[in-house]
Amino acid sequence: MKKIRAILFDMDGVLLDTETVCEVCWAKAADEIGLSNIHEIFMQCVGRSRSDTEKLLEKYLPDEGAAVKFRNRTSELFTVVENEEGLNKMPFVLDCLESLKKAGFRLAVASSTRAAKVHPQLTNAGIHDYFETFTTGDTVTHSKPDPEIYLKAAASLNLQPEECVAIEDSPNGVRSATNAGIKCIMVPDLIQPDSEMKEKAWKIFSNLKEAADFLCSVD
């Protein structure tokens, strides 16, 4: 096995506690239009880009423009929460980033979220400067579970996939990383690992401190 040189982080549900906020906003927007089964629909969309999410929503909102309108409404509701309450970091984020930096790992972000959201959200959380590069959903053609975003993230550091480890919370994220040939640590948030995830993930930990402790112990 090649030496691990970099850790590639998903953002939503790994670094920032955004997915719980998103689900509340989706539920409110769905209630406004009488859309049922929103929890199941939302779970299918976790880890996907905005454009891919809208394509999936079209199955449930077939009227022209309805999927885009729904996503715009969820974004409006999310922005209200973000502006009024702010976004919380996931547990042990700072401890994790500090430990990995001190151990000599390079850090990067690979998020399906657009750059216009990623940079201010990480800046407001006080963790933006830990990362060398940012590969975002608007810089790739195919979103997770396609491997493109992780291949680009590794390339942005001039590293091979096998020199990187990804940290993900969602099945789509784990699939994306492993499809790219990158070992993936799963730290579950909303979705608990099933048999597929237990097979695909390199390791599964309950929080980022456990993940960092493990990575710092790997020779």
Give yes or no: residues 53 and 101 share one domain.
no
DSSP three-state, residue 109? strand
Contact 14, 211 (CB under 8 A): no
The pLDDT assigned to 47 comes to: 81
Distance CA(210)–CA(219), nearest Å, equals 16
Co-location of 104 and 66 in the same domain: no
Say whether both 130 and 162 belong to one domain.
Answer: yes
Answer yes or no: do 197 and 98 share one domain.
yes
Are both 73 and 103 inside the same structural domain? no
Are 104 and 140 in the same domain? yes
Whole-structure pTM value: 0.90
Distance CA(188)–CA(141), nearest Å, equals 26
CA distance 97 to 72: 33
Is residue 1 included in any domain, yes or no? no
| Three-state SS at 49 | coil
Of 73, 217, 219, 48, the residue nearest 145 (C-alpha): 48
Cis peptide before 120 (omega within 30 of 0): no
Q: Which amino acid would we find at residue 63?
A: D
Residue 5: closest CA among 118, 125, 153: 153
Would you write out the chain's pLDDT as a tens digit for each of its 219 residues? 689 999 999 999 999 999 999 999 999 999 999 999 999 999 999 888 888 899 999 999 999 999 999 999 999 999 999 999 999 999 999 999 999 999 999 999 999 999 999 999 999 999 999 999 999 999 999 989 999 999 999 999 999 999 999 999 999 999 999 999 999 999 999 899 999 999 999 999 999 999 999 999 996
Residues 194 and 156 in one domain: yes
Q: Which domain holds residue 168?
A: 6-17+88-217
Domain count, the chain: 2
Determine contact, residues 216/210, Cβ cutoff 8 Å. no
